[in-house]
Amino acid sequence: MVLKAWFLSTFFVFFMPGVPFAYHALDGLFFAVGFLLSLQIQELTAGLPSVPGLGLRVAFAVFLALSLIPHATYRWQAWNATIAPMDQYGYPPAIAPAAEVATIQWLRQNAGPDDLVLATYDAGPWLATAPV
């Protein structure tokens, strides 16, 4: 019952208007989903005694391996993309918006060290450290 309440309350907090940083409510959601999934698997194996244990374990292992491939690939590409300003596909890294990368590239080409650059509060520290 606690897991189901955790699962439902996460979505309630995420979609509640006015909650600051509501997307952080989703940070631990995969724990609740994993626990609920393991309980469902236990109920499935208890309700179907005719299913061989080894075959079911192999099927779940294959499913888990196929599910982890996209996750691992994304992490690998995100790690490699933070080293260069543009990754191999021409997209900016995960930590910098596309407009910020384009602005820094434009400043490197068209601005000098003595030029004044007006920037927003969020982008100012990143533009101040860009070698021009």
**Are residues 69 and 110 located together in one domain of the fold?**
no
Its domain, for residue 38, covers: 2-81
How far is residue 117's CA from residue 110's CA, in Å, rounded to a whole number?
12
In a domain, 59, yes or no: yes
Q: What is the mean pLDDT of residues 41-56?
A: 73
**Are residues 10 and 62 located together in one domain of the fold?**
yes
The model's pTM: 0.37
Domain tally, the chain: 2
Task: For residue range 59-97, list pLDDT tens digits in order.
Answer: 888 988 888 888 888 777 777 665 554 555 555 555 666
**Are residues 71 and 110 located together in one domain of the fold?**
no
Task: For residue range 94-112, list pLDDT tens digits in order.
Answer: 566 667 778 888 888 888 8
**Are residues 24 and 67 located together in one domain of the fold?**
yes
Three-state secondary structure of 58-93: HHHHHHHHHHHHHHHHHHHHHHHHCCCCCCCCCCCC
